[in-house]
Amino acid sequence: MSKITNIATRAIYDARGQPTPEVEIQTACGTFRASAPSQSSFSRHDCVELKDNEPRSWGGRGSQKCIDAIRTRIRPVLTGFDIQDINEVDKKLKEIDESPDGRMGTIGTNASLPISMACIQASAAYNRTPLFKYISKLANTKAKMPNPCFSLVSGGLSGGLTFVKDYYITAIGQIPLQDQLQNYSLLQQEVRKQLQNKTTISHTGGFMIAQDTVEEVLKVLTGWIKSAGLDGKVGIILDCAANDIADPKQFTYEVTKFNPDKPKQVISGAQMIEKYVNLCTANPAIIAIIDPFYYEDFGNCAELISKVKKVQVFGQQMFSSRVDRVPYFIKHDRGQLASNVVIQMTSVGLISEVIKTARKAKEMNIPISVTTSNGETEDVFVAHLAVGLGADYFFVGGMQRSDRIEKVNELARIAELL
C-alpha cells in the first residue's frame, strides 16, 4: 500500500538553536522523516515561513503555529492520500494553503517542505529505488556527483564582518569525492594551525575571522590555500547575497552593513561593478560570484557579466528556485543574467516545484547547483537532491558543523551507488 496512514510532527532544533518542524509520514512501507531547514534571507518571490511571532516564545521564532497547521489542516486531508504521485501531493498542499501568490503564507514553507520531502522518500521506498535515483527519474536528469563547495570563511548574515555572506572553496575540475574531501581537510587543518584554534565558527560552518574587508579576507584565504599546497587545485566562489545589503529602489549597496565598527558606506551599482572587477583581477582563484546584485538590478548585473568573462555569475536569490524565473533571467532583454541556477528548497517549499525548475534549466541548457540553508538540521535529503538533479555544485557550508558533515557523509554513501 502506498497510502499515508498517519502524519506525526514535533519541534526539533536547527543549527541556530531555533525550533523547526519535523514530520513523519507513515505508510505500509514504513516511517519516513524529514525536517524543515530555515532560511535568513528572502526575496518577495520566496515562500515564507510560518512563525509564532511571539516575543516571549523563542524571540518570535517559535514554530507552534506551523506544527498546529500540520496537525489540524494538513494531516486530516492527506491521511489516506496516495503518495505515488508527488505532483498530486504537492498540489493538495497548495490547495490547503490557499495563498493567492503561492508563497505558502498560510501553512508556511516550514510545513509544506518537510511534508513534501517525506512523501517523496515514501514514494521512492514504495518503488524500491534509492532516493537520488528516484529524484533523477522524476526530473529526467542524469544523476551525478556534484563538486561540493565548502564555506571556509563566513560573513554577512552567516555571521561575519564583510558583506560577502560566504567564501566557498571547491575543486577545479572533476576529481574523486574522497580526494576533494581530503583537500578540504588539509586546508581546514592549515587554517586552524594559522589561527592557533582561536576562532569562532558561524552557524553555516565557516570560520569567522577578524579581517573586515573582502579584499583582506581574500588575501588571507589565498594565503591559506598556498600554505596547504592547493594553489591551482581549488577555486573560490563568493556568495555575495546582495539582496541583504541593497536599497531596492535606488540600487545602491551598503557594503559596511555587517561591521558595526565602521562608518556607514553606501556605494552605487557602478562602484560595485568596479569592486567586483578589481577583486576578480587581483584574485584569479575566483571562479564564480553568486548574487552580486539585487535580484531586480538587471542593468548592473548585465554590465558585470560583460566585464568578468572568465568568472561565472550564479543566481540564487534572483531565481528563487521558481520555474517561471528561469527563462525570465536567461532570455532577458539585457541578455543572459546568470550562467547557473542555484536551487534552494526553502524558496519554493515543494519538491515538485524544485524538480520543475531543474527541468526548465535543463531544457534551456543552463547548469544548476543546489545549496543548503542557513538553519540546517541533520536531515540529508538535500544531498540526494543535489545528486539526483545532476547539479554541478553542491553548496554544503563548512565542515566545522555536524549538520553540514551529515550531508557530506551522505554524499560518500551515495557515491558507492553511482
pLDDT tens figures, 359-374: 999 999 999 999 999 8
| pLDDT surpasses 70 at 233 | yes
Structural class in CATH, domain 139-415: alpha beta
Buried b (16+ CB within 10 A) or exposed e, 272-293: bbebbeebbeebebbbbbbbbb
User: Helix crossing, 214-227 with 177-195: angle to 10°?
Assistant: 110
pLDDT tens digits, 118-127: 999 999 999 9
pLDDT top residue among 102 and 327: 327
C-alpha distances in Å from residue 365, one per residue of 103, 145, 308, 315: 27, 19, 21, 15
Question: How high is the pLDDT of residue 196?
Answer: 80
Q: Domain ranges for the chain, please list them.
A: 6-128, 139-415
Mean pLDDT of 3-21: 94
pLDDT top residue among 212 and 159: 212
User: Helix crossing, 131-139 with 381-388: angle to 10°?
Assistant: 40
Question: How high is the pLDDT of residue 62?
Answer: 86
- Distance CA(291)–CA(315), nearest Å, equals 5
| % pLDDT > 90, the chain | 69
Mean pLDDT of 68-76: 95
pLDDT band at 238 (very low <50, low <70, confident <90, very high): very high
Beta bridge partners of 236: 169, 286
pLDDT tens digits, 276-310: 999 999 999 999 999 999 988 999 999 999 999 89
Q: Mean pLDDT for the chain?
A: 91
239: annotated binding-site residue?
yes
pLDDT top residue among 146 and 338: 146
| pLDDT surpasses 70 at 261 | yes
Question: How high is the pLDDT of residue 317?
Answer: 83
| pLDDT surpasses 70 at 256 | yes
pLDDT top residue among 132 and 108: 132
Question: How high is the pLDDT of residue 41?
Answer: 61
pLDDT top residue among 336 and 71: 71
Mean pLDDT of 63-84: 93
Q: What is the grid cell recorded at 176?
A: 574523486
Q: What is the grid cell recorded at 273?
A: 561593478
| pLDDT surpasses 80 at 1 | no
C-alpha distances in Å from residue 4, one per residue of 27, 70, 105, 110, 233: 5, 14, 25, 20, 48
Question: How high is the pLDDT of residue 101?
Answer: 79
Structural class in CATH, domain 6-128: alpha beta
| pLDDT surpasses 70 at 146 | yes
At residue 394, the 3 state secondary structure works out as: strand
Q: How far from the centroid of its chain's Cα atoms is residue 410's Cα? A: 17
Q: How far from the centroid of its chain's Cα atoms is residue 216's Cα? A: 26
| pLDDT surpasses 90 at 327 | no
At residue 174, the 3 state secondary structure works out as: coil
Question: How high is the pLDDT of residue 229?
Answer: 93
Q: Which one-letter DSSP state was computed for residue 146?
A: P
Least confident of 114-128, 163-177, 198-212, 373-387: 198-212
pLDDT band at 174 (very low <50, low <70, confident <90, very high): confident
Question: How high is the pLDDT of residue 42?
Answer: 66
Question: How high is the pLDDT of residue 282?
Answer: 95
